[in-house]
Amino acid sequence: MSNNQVLGFAPALGWNSWNTFTWDINEQLIRDVADVFVSEGYLAAGYEYIVIDDCWSLKERDANGNLVADPEKFPSGMKALSDYIHSKGLKFGMYSCVGTHTCAGYPGSFEHEFQDAALFAEWGVDYLKYDYCFKPRHISGELLYKRMSLALKNCGRDILFSACNWGPTMYTIGFGNRVLICTALPVISVTIGIQ
């Protein structure tokens, strides 16, 4: 895709793990949702994104400063999960945050924007939900959204940027060609066998 094209011109339709499962997520659940999206016709109806929300990582970055998927929840790793989702014809979404921590207390992307964007690209991420928790007071949210937007534009992969902006200062300015402002994926109910 060229920089002159708009990513996300049509509404991003899909499923996000948070409202149903909050922190109780794992690889098998996400695979099951992807399977249901195909078998029950959601993909054919235009619902293409499977987005893992907060609580997917370990509580600490590794020695190199990288985010690490929780190996108990995601034993095959995020790249393998992304490959599985893509093999179904779906797109893979992840979650991060402008702050030092995510809303649930996991590592946020503050001062790691370019590193995290490169990692998301390596994993095959197509959509980033970017939340607004634990934002340092000394820096504007607008600047932090622009910083991640720039990181995504330079990561080598087209990643739709969904800026979750609910904080005390709300921004309605554009961040280039890869942003949704104040949006969430439309809610659909997916029934899968959970034991």
Written as tens digits, the pLDDT of the chain (195 aa) is: 444 457 778 889 999 999 899 999 999 999 999 999 999 999 999 999 999 999 999 999 999 999 999 999 999 999 999 999 999 999 999 999 999 999 999 999 999 999 999 999 999 999 999 999 999 999 998 899 999 999 999 999 999 999 887 655 544 444 443 444 444 444 444 444 443
- Do residues 58 and 101 make contact, with C-beta atoms less than 8 angstroms apart? no
Query: Can you tell me which residue has the tokens 């998927």?
Result: 69
* Helix or strand run (H / E) with residue 15: strand 14-16
Secondary structure (DSSP) of 44-90: TTT--EEE--SS-B-SS--TTS---B-TTT-TT-HHHHHHHHHHTT-
Q: Is 176 exposed, middle or buried (0-12, 13-18, 19+ CB in 10 A)?
A: middle
In terms of Cα–Cα distance, which of 186, 193, 140, 190 is closest to 165? 140
Give the 3-state secondary structure of 129-162: EEECCCCCCCCCHHHHHHHHHHHHHCCCCCCEEE
pTM: 0.85
- pLDDT value for 181: 42
Q: Compute CA 186 distance to the chain's CA centroid, rounded to the nearest angstrom.
A: 15
pLDDT of residue 164: 86
Q: Tell me what pLDDT residue 95 has.
A: 98
Q: Kindly state the greatest CA–CA separation across the chain.
A: 48
How confident is the model at residue 90, as a pLDDT?
98
